[in-house]
């Protein structure tokens, strides 16, 4: 499925033909990226989406009530986009990386608008990226406007279904438009906000190449993102660099908060673990606990 606008769906078949469709029945809650079974209703000349095929992955956000809400399905990679402007919120980045870890899918950081970076801004953003590089995440500094590093980006997207996520205005749609001519046309006709700016209002999938082996999903920008992290290992919440240190903690069930002999706290102290990433871990624990509590008594972790 390519896109959903409420109950108005856009689907594409194996031959690449696009159809407008409707969900058949209330239980069919398909999201962008879903593989669906459709039927043509000759009486109304409509295409019906009858069934969602099993999902290999589903990126979900947690609602304030602690419930999981599917955002996109069947992605194999999360491309988290940041830019010098709007100013990056690294906590949002960390939450997406946490979601990727919980899904067991790849994650990639893209710093867009490299054409805007003067020497000072470049140093500040490189500092931010250094913590992610140290943790082992792949980072690409690119520009949709100048075309810089788009070949590197394309290579990192090859063979994947990647969803582009991040704050509004970082250039997700612009990057996708620069990579996929079809997307450039689609975004040209999209809705504008009050200030006349283009802004994406629903997720949409594009083939990156003719073989359908690689695809990109554009998604609406967010102000915040709370991953639905039910399945996560509470000991690390997907922070790969904490994962690596945890076996050295004195206690096997160490939460890395104030336990004696904690290797994570020691690494923060020694400045070998990024203090901001560690703060992000603590904040995410609180979010995780609050969401568990919102879902009802008895589910709060310790
Ligand atoms: N200078 C510069 N501007 C860019 C670049 N990429 C995007 N922009 C501009 O940034 C603004 C936002 O770009 P979009 O692609 O709409 O951003 P988005 O992330 O899709 O935003 P939402 O759909 O609201 O989430 C537009 O005015 C773009 O022209 C870039 O590489 N360099
Ligand atoms: Mg957009
Ligand atoms: Zn510890």
- Does a structural domain hold residue 139? yes
Give the tens place of pLDDT for each residue, 77-116.
999 999 999 999 999 999 999 999 888 899 999 999 999 9
Q: Are residues 167 and 194 in the same domain?
A: yes
* Residue 34 scores a pLDDT above 60: yes
135 CA distance to ligand 2 middle (Å): 28
The predicted structure's pLDDT at residue 232:
60
- Asked if 99 and 105 touch (Cβ cutoff 8 Å), the reply is no
pLDDT at residue number 91: 93
Cα radius of gyration (the chain): 21
Cα-to-centroid distance, 109 and ligand 3 (Å): 27
Closest residue by Cα to atom 8, ligand 1, is 171
- 258 within domain boundaries: yes
Q: Pocket around ligand 1: residues whose beta carbon is below 6 Å from it?
A: 112-113, 115-116, 143-145, 168-174, 198-200, 220-221
- Final residue of a domain: which of 32, 52, 72? 52
Ligand nearest to the CA of 198: 1
- Mean per-residue pLDDT, 21-31: 85
Atom from ligand 1 closest to the CA of residue 116: 1
- What are the two backbone dihedrals, phi and then psi, of residue 251, each rounded to the nearest 5 degrees? -100, 135
Residues 23 and 85 in one domain: no
Q: Is residue 9 part of a domain?
A: yes
Is 276 contained in some domain? yes
Q: Are residues 170 and 67 in the same domain?
A: yes
Same-domain check for residues 146 and 186: yes
- Tell me the torsion sign for CA atoms 126, 132, 135, 137: negative
More confident residue, 66 or 117: 117
- For ligand 1, the distance from its centroid to the CA atom of residue 279, given in whole angstroms, is 29
On whether both 200 and 276 belong to a single domain, the answer is no
Same domain, 155 and 140: yes
Strand order in the sheet with 46-52: 36-41, 46-52, 18-23, 8-12, 3-5, 204-207, 215-218, 161-165, 77-82, 106-111, 138-141
Q: Is 138 part of any domain?
A: yes
Which residue range forms the structural domain that includes residue 33? 3-52
Q: Is residue 118 located within the same domain as residue 151? A: yes
**Highest mean pLDDT of the ranges 25-34, 211-220, 271-280, 283-292:** 271-280
Whole-number pLDDT of residue 127: 86
CA distances from 280 to 54, 164, 182, 247, 292 (A): 33, 21, 38, 20, 18
pLDDT at 41 > cutoff 70 = yes
pLDDT at res. 190: 55
Ligand nearest to the CA of 263: 3
Last residue of a domain, one of 14, 30, 52: 52
Please give the model's pTM, rounded to 2 decimal places.
0.92
Shared domain for 77 and 41, answered yes or no, is no
Residue 252 and residue 139 share a domain: no
CA–centroid distance, residue 263 to ligand 3 (Å): 5
Quick one: which ligand is closest to 262's CA?
3
In a domain, 77, yes or no: yes
Please state the domain count of the chain.
3
Please give the structure tokens belonging to residue 74.
């069947």
Task: Please check whether residues 43 and 68 belong to one and the same domain.
Answer: no
Do 74 and 112 lie in one domain? The reply is yes
The token pair that represents 160 in the structure block: 């994947």
Please report, for the domain that includes residue 156, its CATH number. Answer: 3.40.50.300
* CATH code of the domain in which 285 resides: 1.10.40.50
Residue 49: strand pairing partners: 23, 38
Closest residue by Cα to atom 14, ligand 1, is 171
In a domain, 233, yes or no: no
Residues 108, 257 within the same domain: no
């Amino acid at each position: 499925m390519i896109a959903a606008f409420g109950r108005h769906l856009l689907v594409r078949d194996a031959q690449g033909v696009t159809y407008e469709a409707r969900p058949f029945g209330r239980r069919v809650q398909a999201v962008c990226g879903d593989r669906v079974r459709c039927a043509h209703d000759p009486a109304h000349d409509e295409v019906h989406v009858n069934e969602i095929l099993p999902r290999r992955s589903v990126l979900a956000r947690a609602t304030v009530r602690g419930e999981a809400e599917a955002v996109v399905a069947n992605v194999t990679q999360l491309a988290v986009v940041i830019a010098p402007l709007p100013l990056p919120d690294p906590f949002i980045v960390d939450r997406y990386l946490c979601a990727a870890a919980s899904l067991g899918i790849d994650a990639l950081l893209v710093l867009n608008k490299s054409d805007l970076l003067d020497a000072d801004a470049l140093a500040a953003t490189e500092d931010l990226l250094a913590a992610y590089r140290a943790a082992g995440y792949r980072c690409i500094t690119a520009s949709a406007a100048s075309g810089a590093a788009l070949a590197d980006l394309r290579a990192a997207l090859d063979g994947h279904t990647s969803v582009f996520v991040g704050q509004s205005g970082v250039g997700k749609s612009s990057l996708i438009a620069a990579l996929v001519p079809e997307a450039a046309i689609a975004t040209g006709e999209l809705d504008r906000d009050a200030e006349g700016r283009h802004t994406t209002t629903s997720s949409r999938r594009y083939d990156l190449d003719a073989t359908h082996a690689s695809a990109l999903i554009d998604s609406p920008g967010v102000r915040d993102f709370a991953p639905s992290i039910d399945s996560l290992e509470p000991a690390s919440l997907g922070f790969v660099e904490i994962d690596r240190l945890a076996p050295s903690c004195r206690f096997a069930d160490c939460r890395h908060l104030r336990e004696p002999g904690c290797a994570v706290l020691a690494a923060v102290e020694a400045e070998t673990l990024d203090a901001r990433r560690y703060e992000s871990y603590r904040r995410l624990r609180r979010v995780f606990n609050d969401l568990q509590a919102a879902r009802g008594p008895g589910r709060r972790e310790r």
